[in-house]
Amino acid sequence: MSIPLLLLLLSVLPTSFSQQSCTKDIMPQNKLYSLCNSLQQLSANLHWTYHPANSTVDIAYRAPQTSDGWIGWALNPTGTGMNGAETIFAFHDSKGIMTTVTYPITYQNTVVRNSSLSFKIYSMSSDFSNNMMSIYATIELPGNKTTVNHVWQASTMFSNGMPSGHATRGANIRSTAMLDLLSGESSGSGNLRLHRKNTHGVLNAVSWGILMPIGAIIARYMRVFKSADPAWFYLHVACQCSAYIVGVAGWGTGLKLGSDSKGITYHSHRDIGIALFCLATLQVFALLLRPKKDHKYRLYWNIYHHVIGYTVIILSVLNIFKGFDILDPEKKWKHAYIGIIVALGAIAAVLEVVTWGVVLKRKRSGGSDKSHRGGGNGVIGLNGTNGYGGREQPRV
Evaluate if residue 108 carries a pLDDT over 80. Answer: no
Residue 263, pLDDT score = 58
Evaluate if residue 21 carries a pLDDT over 60. Answer: no
Evaluate if residue 395 carries a pLDDT over 50. Answer: no
Q: By mean pLDDT, which of 43-52, 111-120, 151-160, 166-175 is the weakest? A: 166-175
CA 327, distance to chain mean position in Å, is 4
Calculate mean pLDDT across residues 159-173. 86
Q: What are phi and psi of 229, to 5 degrees?
A: -95, 130
Angle, CA of 141, 103 and 169, to the nearest 5°:
100
Calculate mean pLDDT across residues 3-22. 47
Residue 370, pLDDT score = 45
Closest CA to 372 of 340, 394, 341: 394
Residue 363, pLDDT score = 85
Residue 62, pLDDT score = 93
Evaluate if residue 88 carries a pLDDT over 80. Answer: yes
CATH of region 22-187, choose from 2.60.40, 1.10.3120, 3.30.70, 2.40.50: 2.60.40
Residue 297, pLDDT score = 82
Q: By mean pLDDT, which of 257-261, 269-273, 310-314 is the weakest? A: 257-261
Calculate mean pLDDT across residues 145-149. 91
Helix and strand counts by DSSP (H, E) for the chain: 7, 13
d(CA 21, CA 184): 12
Sequence spans of domains, the chain:
22-187, 192-373
Q: By mean pLDDT, which of 92-96, 161-165, 384-388 is the weakest? A: 384-388
Judge contact between 280 and 312, C-beta under 8 A.
yes
Calculate mean pLDDT across residues 57-82. 93
Closest CA to 148 of 82, 54, 46, 76: 76
| CATH code for residues 192-373 | 1.20.120.1770
Residue 190, pLDDT score = 52
CA 395, distance to chain mean position in Å, is 35
Q: Which residues contact 386 (CB under 8 A, 6 or more apart)?
A: 293, 298, 302, 374, 375, 376, 377, 378, 379
Q: By mean pLDDT, which of 143-152, 202-211, 252-261, 380-389 is the weakest? A: 380-389
d(CA 274, CA 323): 14
Residue 153, pLDDT score = 95
Evaluate if residue 166 carries a pLDDT over 90. Answer: no
State pLDDT tens for residues 335-381. Answer: 999 999 999 999 999 999 998 888 888 888 875 444 443 433 333 34
Torsion-angle region of 43 (φ positive above 0: left; ψ -120 to 50: alpha; else: beta)? left
pTM of the model: 0.53
Evaluate if residue 68 carries a pLDDT over 60. Answer: yes
Q: Output the average pLDDT for the chain.
A: 81
Residue 173, pLDDT score = 82
